[in-house]
Amino acid sequence: MGRDDERDVLDRMGRGLVYTESEAVFLDERRRADLIFAYNHTPPGEADKRRSLLRAILGSVGERPALHPPFSAAFGSNVHIGDDFFGNVNLAFVDDVEIRIGHGVMTAPSVTLTTTGHPVHPARRVDFARFSEPIVIEDKVWIGSNVVVLPGVRIGYGSVIGAGSVVAKDVPPMVVAVGTPCRVLRDITDDDLTTRTSAADR
């Protein structure tokens, strides 16, 4: 495959159009599978080694990241996370294109962030044909257990995604959204400051 062909594939990927496994094979050098394996098998006491591996795996990573193994990623290098990120076990990044995560984001166990889907008609899925669209998760978002975030979704500042949701469309800032498909349940307001007992109340 020549440079012009590679540019054509990258252009189609950038526009969310279909491309195949064979066409995208030149991107394999960006995969971080061995480093992800090493991270997932690093003893808990070797925090410095984990941090070093995470910086080698991800496209960019902020301060004080916490990512509990095991996690998986199609590439790893297309994931960008901000400061104070917390990812619980079994976080899956399907990052054929970029996943951008802001500051103070938390994910519960078994969350999947997938930038990639496949055509509905089987004749269009030959050679693992697929399309990819970036995911953006803004600052202070909390994503509950077993949530799936689909290609092209943006989740707005401070929002909470309820456990088990499938997020197929953008979620605005400062809302609680739940369900399959995920829908806004209500706004987050100052009333939520008192819905659980805080240390100051004791």
> What are the extents of the domains in the chain?
3-188
Q: What is the pLDDT of residues 94-129, one digit of tens each?
A: 999 999 999 999 999 999 999 999 999 999 999 999
Residue range 3-188, CATH number: 2.160.10.10
Crossing angle of helices 47-57/33-40, nearest 10°? 160
Q: What is the pLDDT of residues 4-47, one digit of tens each?
A: 889 999 999 999 999 999 999 999 999 999 999 999 999 999 99
What pLDDT shows up at residue 1? 62
**103 catalytic, yes or no?**
no
CA distances from 91 to 6, 15, 64, 111, 168 (A): 30, 26, 18, 5, 18
Q: What is the pLDDT of residues 131-185, one digit of tens each?
A: 999 999 999 999 999 999 999 999 999 999 999 999 999 999 999 999 999 999 9
User: Which tokens in the block code for residue 116?
Assistant: 């990639």
What pLDDT shows up at residue 4? 81
Q: What is the pLDDT of residues 39-76, one digit of tens each?
A: 999 999 999 999 999 999 999 999 999 999 999 999 99
What pLDDT shows up at residue 201? 52
> What single letter denotes the amino acid at residue 148?
V
Does the pLDDT at position 2 exceed 80? no
Rounded to 5°, the CA angle 73-64-87 comes to: 40
Q: For residues 180 and 201, give the distance between their C-alpha atoms in angstroms, rounded to a whole number.
A: 36
What pLDDT shows up at residue 51? 95
Q: For residue 185, is it left (φ>0), alpha (ψ between -120 and 50) or beta?
A: alpha
What pLDDT shows up at residue 7? 92
What pLDDT shows up at residue 86? 98
What pLDDT shows up at residue 187? 96
Per annotation, catalytic residue among 41, 68, 80, 118: 118
What pLDDT shows up at residue 197? 59
Does the pLDDT at position 199 exceed 60? no
Q: Supply the DSSP symbol for 68.
A: P
